[in-house]
Amino acid sequence: MDEWDVAAAELSTGTPRETIGALIAECDALRRSNRMLAERIDGLMNVHHAAILIIDPQSGEILDANAAAVRRYAGGRAALLTRNIREINTLPPAEIAQRMRLAVAARRNHFEFQHRLHDGTVQDVDVYSGPILYDGRLALISFIHDATRRKSLERKLKTLASTDALTGCCNRRRFLALLRQEFRRAQRHGAPLSVAMIDLDHFKRVNDTWGHSAGDAVLKAVASTCRKMMRECDCFGRLGGEEFGVLLPGTDLAAAEAVLARIAAAARAMTVRVPEGELRATMSVGVSAAHAEDGDETPMLHRADAALYLAKTRGRDRVEAVSE
């Protein structure tokens, strides 16, 4: 606006020339400041290594994105700005909306999602979101990091923490956790549940006579044979030393006894080859089932242990069941 414009504004509004000039100068400064701020935000978005999306939290429309996000989610910037976050996030729309509400309210800023990429693959991502003012309206800015490696490491650690290193079956902690979970499920639905305790007969002789490597070979062979005979919903775990546990959801005591008889027969027929020769193994097995009056899984474990003791005192290489 030049001097003539200022004079015209003074005449038409009656506002003093100095005031109008100051207002014009303030507006110009504000425009320059906004332009610099926009350039700075744009620069920061494209320097940052993360993919960045600016999203309308009401509609889920993508309002802006940096170059990393364009490469990740679309073939070009124009294509990405026609998309909705619901096309990228694999969660149901209602859950996406709920997460955006949390981020807008600043009650939560870190989320773990799975995102569909431009090439069609689905990737684990860490998303850090928060509210900003964008083009005069409330929006969400999301910084997105590839979480594939972290998730893979977490899965490996979880497996290591729940798996017996020698046999590959679940360890004692995992077995007992699954037993507790299945017991609660059985009580809730009034479904049968059985558990068995297995002890390899005279296993100490194997270690003492043939060495620990031969003993390890027997343990691995027994675990492999038993697991092949079980359903996907069953669990075979090593509880320690030569002792194993079997968890049979949806199986009553009679059916469980029959299952364990087949497993014992398979173990009896098994031959384990070691450098020194061939070894065979038999097992003593105690079986019990959950009762409606059991407060937790402990009583059925005690009954299975009592049945195992009974199998040993009656000559070993046999399956015994205790119902009371």
Q: Is residue 157 part of a domain?
A: no
Is residue 185 domain-shared with residue 305, that is, in the same domain? yes
Q: Which residues pair with 116 in a beta bridge?
A: 122
**Residues 316 and 282 sit within 8 Å (Cβ to Cβ):** yes
CB half-sphere exposure, 5, CA atoms < 13 A: 5
Is residue 208 domain-shared with residue 266, that is, in the same domain? yes
Q: Is residue 105 part of a domain?
A: yes
End position of a domain, from candidates 150, 175, 194: 150
- Which residue blocks in 48-90 are alpha helix, DSSP H? 67-73, 77-80
Q: Is residue 287 part of a domain?
A: yes
Is residue 53 domain-shared with residue 97, that is, in the same domain? yes
Q: CATH code at 254?
A: 3.30.70.270
Is residue 109 domain-shared with residue 18, that is, in the same domain? yes
The three-class DSSP label of residue 303 is helix
Cβ atoms within 10 Å of 16's Cβ, excluding its own: 10
**Residues 70 and 80 sit within 8 Å (Cβ to Cβ):** yes
Q: Note the pLDDT of residue 11.
A: 42
Residue 208: give the domain boundaries: 163-321
Cα–Cα distance measured from residue 244 to residue 198, given in angstroms and rounded to the nearest whole number: 5
Is residue 146 domain-shared with residue 286, that is, in the same domain? no
**Residue 313, both tokens:** 């005192």
Q: Note the pLDDT of residue 7.
A: 43
Q: Note the pLDDT of residue 46.
A: 55
Q: CATH code at 98?
A: 3.30.450.20
Cα–Cα distance measured from residue 219 to residue 203, given in angstroms and rounded to the nearest whole number: 9
Cα separations in angstroms, 305 against 11, 92, 107, 163: 103, 47, 50, 23
Cα–Cα distance measured from residue 235 to residue 253, given in angstroms and rounded to the nearest whole number: 16
pLDDT averaged per 10 residues, the chain (length 324): 46 50 54 50 59 95 94 92 96 95 88 95 94 91 93 84 90 94 94 96 89 92 92 92 95 95 93 85 95 92 95 94 86
Single-letter residue type at 45 = M
Cα–Cα distance measured from residue 179 to residue 185, given in angstroms and rounded to the nearest whole number: 10
Q: Is residue 58 part of a domain?
A: yes
CA-closest candidate to residue 203, choices 261, 264, 284: 284
Cα–Cα distance measured from residue 148 to residue 125, given in angstroms and rounded to the nearest whole number: 7
Q: Is residue 37 part of a domain?
A: yes
DSSP 37-56: HHHHHHHHHHHSSSEEEEE-
Which residues are annotated as catalytic? 242
Q: Is residue 156 part of a domain?
A: no
Cβ atoms within 10 Å of 321's Cβ, excluding its own: 21
Q: Which residues pair with 127 in a beta bridge?
A: 111, 144
Q: Note the pLDDT of residue 25.
A: 60
Q: Note the pLDDT of residue 6.
A: 42
Q: What is the pTM of this model?
A: 0.62
Instruction: Give the total number of structural domains in the chain.
Output: 2
Is residue 98 domain-shared with residue 196, that is, in the same domain? no
Provide Rg for the chain, Cα atoms: 34
Is residue 8 domain-shared with residue 92, that is, in the same domain? yes
Is residue 145 domain-shared with residue 183, that is, in the same domain? no
**Residue 279, both tokens:** 């070894």
